[in-house]
Amino acid sequence: MNQMHKPDLIHAELSDKVLKLTLGAGVAHALSLAVIEELHAHIRSAATDPEVNVIVIHGPGKIFCAGHDLKEIAAHRADADDGLAYLTDLFEKCGAMMQDITNSPKPTIALVEGIATAGGLQLVAACDLAYASEAATFCLPGVNNGGFCTTPAVAVSRNMSRKHIMELALSGTPFDAQWALSTGVINRILPADQVIDFTMDYARKLATRHNKAIADGKRALYTHLELPLDQAYDLATKVMIGHFMDPFRIQAEKSR
């Protein structure tokens, strides 16, 4: 029997080649297994959709995303294995989704109005860009519940220094938008009444750029960050030549 589609989990809106994915599933926008599966499906589909050049992920209101659904996790404690199979499925699927966000050929932007905590902060960190309101806060609260935000820290640690990630993970307390900006988690802070318009205007402008060049450049940038300097230049040189030899660019320059 097929599962019924739940349109309230993720609201997808495509306009001007910008796919806006708005998190639903209650005010906390928790990452239940169903939410992860639906959001991941949109990310995968957008990666190969020629009508999508940019993705925006938005958790509207006071909570961008509260992380994993702790009520759902608690319910699976009644399983015969105390929830092991469910937790394995949950965290493996979440990790795969986060990787596909970062590895997507389409630039992905987090639009953050409120708190991004645990897996919600992981979602922000997995995106290529993040714009936040003055009221936004950021937190890895795992230590407060006898645990540690180990999987969220994978994405977040790739946005900041070792000592910053350790302070965030060990304190379990929220940090403000200015701190997030100073550590590299977000790109810019906007007034609360401007953050949505700014982010969507930026996304629409970015969507007018040559999508193949951006996809190639994004992939090369993330790859060469992990390479020794000489190998990074070898890779970047090949990609750069490819940019200039792209038939789209050659034709555009010849027609001027």
Which CATH number covers residue 84? 3.90.226.10
Which tens digits make up the pLDDT trace of 221-239?
999 999 999 999 999 999 9
Which tens digits make up the pLDDT trace of 143-172?
999 999 999 999 999 999 999 999 999 999
Asked whether residue 231 falls in the same domain as residue 119, the answer is no
Is residue 4, in this structure, part of any structural domain at all?
Answer: no
Asked whether residue 153 falls in the same domain as residue 215, the answer is no
pLDDT at res. 220: 97
Q: Dihedral angle at the C-alpha atoms of 219, 224, 225, 229, nearest 10 degrees?
A: -170
Asked whether residue 216 falls in the same domain as residue 129, the answer is no
Domain count, the chain: 2
Is residue 52, in this structure, part of any structural domain at all?
Answer: yes
Would you say 141 and 118 are in contact if contact means Cβ atoms under 8 Å apart? yes
What pTM does this model have? Answer: 0.93
Domain span at 222: 211-255
Bridge pairing between strands 18-23 and 10-15? antiparallel
Instruction: Please choose, from the candidates 46, 51, 48, the residue with its C-alpha nearest in 3D space to the C-alpha of residue 16.
Output: 51
Is residue 167, in this structure, part of any structural domain at all?
Answer: yes
Distance CA 124, CA 64 (A): 9
Rounded (to 5) percent helix, strand, coil in the chain = 50, 15, 30
Structure tokens at 236: 């970047």
Asked whether residue 24 falls in the same domain as residue 135, the answer is yes
Would you say 65 and 59 are in contact if contact means Cβ atoms under 8 Å apart? yes
Asked whether residue 201 falls in the same domain as residue 236, the answer is no
Would you say 124 and 144 are in contact if contact means Cβ atoms under 8 Å apart? no
pLDDT at 2 over 80: no
- Residue reference for tokens 């699976």: 76
pLDDT at 8 over 80: no
At residue 177, the 3 state secondary structure works out as helix
pLDDT at 5 over 80: no
Instruction: Please choose, from the candidates 54, 254, 65, the residue with its C-alpha nearest in 3D space to the C-alpha of residue 155.
Output: 65
CATH code of 220's domain? 1.10.287
Is residue 83, in this structure, part of any structural domain at all?
Answer: yes
Asked whether residue 191 falls in the same domain as residue 66, the answer is yes
pLDDT at res. 27: 85
pLDDT at 43 over 50: yes
pLDDT at res. 40: 98
Task: Give mean pLDDT, residues 9-38.
Answer: 95
Asked whether residue 233 falls in the same domain as residue 169, the answer is no
Asked whether residue 48 falls in the same domain as residue 98, the answer is yes
